[in-house]
A = this chain, B = another copy of it.
């Protein structure tokens, strides 16, 4: 698989060998992706044990290949050459991954992968039975494993920061605090206004009507295809927790979850995951198998899904195009519902229990709760046994809601079962990036709303292809945001966006 074995090679030869190794790593990654997708979408229960073995086998193989000393030698040789910007970016990302990889012992990587794969099944069962106690022993192990990982990765005072950096290069607890402080300051007055608002949007627009699942699926698929998700290079399936899984640029899979009495939940999930999928499909195939052919930061990824879900699919012009079609498909179910009622319904603010069903405003409070809990779990200020109680207290104090049981509380998210501590904050950063991207797109395309009203969804997609997608990992996340929007990351666009949206629904 690796042609040259000597150190007597030129930087260009070393770079080429790195490309070959990167492609091989990418093939192993694809195996892990397929195994993970299948586990959540189609695998029968009897497959759990051997699937855990398959996933940990692929993880171990990846880790071994990544951390071969040859990889380090090649990085050193290649770095001494004259590099194009793209080559330099590939080297930067390979170096980042290699340096992190060599810090983690093989044994740890295998053990962690097996634990996460098994824990996913345990979490599913615990959630189904709303029984946190069943999941708690696994979570305790996962927390220990997270601390262990942070210790290996080191380099920062705060163990949580080591994990945050995995998902967004350079992200720290301090940066999270800065964003979350701004968000709290903006959101708390808005939530107060919601409570006292006179003309509130309907909370139950469809009044128990039943929406045929097959029709929902067809409509969702039509919408996502119109937005630009390419079904020749992707699929839509059903899973408990919607997700996007890239096997390869030409094979990107999204999922949703249907509910008979709530057609919008599945639709917004489909649109959200389509945003992720369109990003993956927008990578340039010529870079396949190298970092330039992959998406980099989780926050930028999340900016794409949130742009599609919130900035497009909760906007007036979007629904001016789709609402008549929606009404056509669900005639009796939507009889008597006016456009304005519908628009205000899909944008209503309502403190709730479930993060994935939360509105754009209170959503960030769900994230802040997870951020605080993760930070405290990792720092040892909190342990697994206390979680349901802490969860209840925080939901009461931040959102004013009572948590009735574990399934609607601490068990709702899959992330911790996978050991993904430090992932949640990227959702809020994703929202902030999405708002900054929308502002830039509107400067470039003053007629954007007109295009959306006409169903010309290739207009925003091509802008994103051009300003975000095609770059892959060429830039670091902060460089990319600056390059795409013309200014460094700035909370202000998100705050402005939320204030404007709020006015459009509640009138000042």
Interface residues of A (CB under 8 A from B): 1, 24, 27-28, 30-31, 34-35, 38, 42-51, 53-54, 57-58, 60-61, 230-235, 237, 247-251, 288
| B contact residues around A58 at 8 Å (CB) | 31
Task: Report A125 CB to chain B, min CB distance, Å.
Answer: 13
Closest to A288 in B: B50
27 A-B pairs, CB-CB below 8 angstroms?
A24-B57, A27-B54, A27-B57, A28-B57, A30-B54, A31-B54, A31-B57, A34-B35, A34-B38, A34-B54, A42-B42, A44-B231, A44-B234, A44-B235, A45-B233, A46-B230, A46-B232, A46-B233, A46-B251, A47-B247, A47-B251, A48-B250, A49-B250, A50-B247, A50-B251, A50-B288, A51-B251
Interface of chain A, main secondary structure: helix
A30, A47, A235, A288 — which one has the most chain B CB atoms within 10 A of its CB? A47
Nearest chain B CB to A2 CB, angstrom units = 13
- Within the complex, the shortest CB–CB distance from A50 to chain B, in Å, comes to 4
Say yes or no: B31 contacts A232, CB within 8 Å.
Answer: no
Chain B residues within 8 Å of A237, by CB: 42
Taken together as a complex, chains A and B put the C-alpha atoms of A288 and B47 apart, in Å, by 13
Q: How far is the CA of A444 from the CA of B370 in the complex (A)?
A: 64
- A34-B35, A51-B251 known; A232 vs B57 contact (CB < 8 Å): no
Q: CA of A231 to CA of B46 in the docked complex: distance in angstroms?
A: 9
By the criterion CB–CB under 8 Å, are B235 and A50 in contact? no
The answer to whether A250 and B47 touch across the interface, beta carbons within 8 angstroms, is yes
Apart from A31-B58, A42-B235, A49-B250, list 9 A-B contacts with CB within 8 A. Answer: A28-B57, A30-B54, A44-B232, A44-B233, A47-B251, A49-B248, A50-B249, A50-B251, A51-B251
Question: Which 3 A-B residue pairs are closest in the complex by CB-CB distance?
Answer: A46-B250, A47-B251, A46-B233
Residues of B with C-beta under 8 A to A233: 44-47
Q: A27: nearest residue on chain B (CB-CB)? A: B57
Are the CB atoms of B50 and A30 closer together than 8 Å? yes
Q: A35–B60 Cα gap in the complex (Å)?
A: 19
Q: How far is the CA of A260 from the CA of B237 in the complex (A)?
A: 24
A111 to chain B, nearest CB (A): 14
Residues on B with beta carbons closer than 8 Å to the beta carbon of A31: 31, 35, 54, 57-58
